A and B are shown apart, each in its own frame.
Chain A
Amino acid sequence: MKKDLMEAAVRLAEHSAEGEPNMKEILLFPSENEIRLVEVDELAMPNGGRAIPFHFGADVEGRIPYRSAIALILPEEKAKIALPEGWGTWEDAVRIWPREAA
Chain B
Amino acid sequence: MMVMDWRSAFFLQARSDFRILRHLIAWGGAKPCHRLHYLQMATEKLAKGFSTDGTIPPATVHSAFVRFLQRAHTNKSLRRACQMEDKKRFQAYLEALLPLGKRIEDLAPSGVTQRPNAEYPWLARARNRAYPTEAADSIVVPAQCRFAGLDMGAPTMIRMMRFLQTCFDMISS
Q: Hey, which bits of chain A sit against chain B, CB under 8 A? A: 12, 15-16, 20, 22-23, 39, 41, 43-46, 48, 52, 54-60, 67-68, 70, 72
The answer for the CA separation of A58 and B151 in the assembled complex, in Å, is 14
Chain B residues near A56 (CB-CB < 8 A): 25-26, 28, 152-153
Shortest Cβ distance from residue B22 to the other chain A in the assembled complex, whole angstroms: 8
Given contacts A45-B82, A45-B162, contact A72 B155 (CB under 8 A): yes
Interchain CB contact under 8 A, A43 and B26: no
Interchain CB contact under 8 A, B84 and A46: yes
Given contacts A45-B166, A57-B29, A72-B162, contact A23 B155 (CB under 8 A): yes
Chain A residues near B154 (CB-CB < 8 A): 16
Interchain CB contact under 8 A, A60 and B28: yes
Shortest Cβ distance from residue A48 to the other chain B in the assembled complex, whole angstroms: 5
B62 is an interface residue with CB less than 8 A from chain A: no
A-B pairs with CB below 8 Å: how many?
62
Interchain CB contact under 8 A, A70 and B153: yes
Closest to A48 in B: B83
B159 is an interface residue with CB less than 8 A from chain A: yes
Given contacts A55-B25, A60-B28, A60-B29, contact A70 B158 (CB under 8 A): yes
Interchain CB contact under 8 A, A39 and B162: no
Interchain CB contact under 8 A, A55 and B162: no
Out of A12, A46, A67, A72, which one reaches B158, CB within 8 Å?
A72
Shortest Cβ distance from residue B125 to the other chain A in the assembled complex, whole angstroms: 26
Chain B residues near A15 (CB-CB < 8 A): 151, 153
Out of A20, A45, A54, A55, which one reaches B163, CB within 8 Å?
A45
7 A–B contacts from the bound complex (CB under 8 Å): A16-B154, A20-B155, A43-B155, A45-B163, A46-B82, A46-B84, A58-B28
Closest to A59 in B: B28
